[in-house]
A and B are shown apart, each in its own frame.
Chain A
Amino acid sequence: AQSVTQPDIHITVSEGASLELRCNYSYGATPYLFWYVQSPGQGLQLLLKYFSGDTLVQGIKGFEAEFKRSQSSFNLRKPSVHWSDAAEYFCAVGVDGYNKLIFGAGTRLAVHP
């Protein structure tokens, strides 16, 4: 069965520090992978997506993610976190023609000044 695992429920970093959020997926075919961000009380906004080609994907707000097929991972990174990055982050895999999304449980990011 398809699934997405985000091992870290909560992460706290200091402003200016680097960030890596982990995502592992289980899917038999070539995955379409997504990272979304949700600010408190808001809907989800797409940060980046991977369909094919270069395994290092650049997104909005200075985020990037790397697809590693051998590890079934799609980790999200940012070199220097800003206080405004505090939010919940969701990894998702697109299945059944890639329009149906399976989401991970999310990682809540807190940023200390």
Chain B
Amino acid sequence: NAGVTQTPKFRVLKTGQSMTLLCAQDMNHEYMYWYRQDPGMGLRLIHYSVGEGTTAKGEVPDGYNVSRLKKQNFLLGLESAAPSQTSVYFCASDSGRGTDTQYFGPGTRLTVL
């Protein structure tokens, strides 16, 4: 039982390049989330999904797209990376019951030059 895994762990992009971050969970969770963590700001929700085939915007969705084609996977895409997207990205998942715990992945450190 690996929990929540994220690929890759580190990435450096040039401005304007695109990339996709992959999140996978093996806990059969319905809900999945993407957060970004910036110094002094805690974690902010980018997008989330309440089930396969569904996505919704969080606090800071601009510049990102997501897809949930399979229940166990949640992809975060940057179509045209900007330096402001330099951050640490965390994926999380939970069962969707309000009292459940969110489980977090180890994070992806992205630098945009």
A contacts, CB < 8 Å to B: 4, 6, 9, 32, 36, 41-46, 49, 51, 90, 92, 94, 97-101, 103-106
Contacts and interface: CB of A to CB of B under 8 A. Distances in A.
A99 B42 contact: no
Interface size class of B (residues with CB under 8 A): 20 to 34
A105 B101 contact: no
Contacts of A92: 43
Given A43-B90, A99-B98, A104 B42 contact: yes
Interface string B11-40: 000000000000000000001010100001
Interface of B: 4, 31, 33, 35, 40-45, 48, 50, 58, 90, 92, 94, 96, 98-99, 101-102, 104-107
A98 B100 CA distance: 9
B99 A98 contact: yes
Given A43-B4, A46-B102, A103 B94 contact: no
Contacts of A101: 43, 45, 102
A46 B101 contact: yes
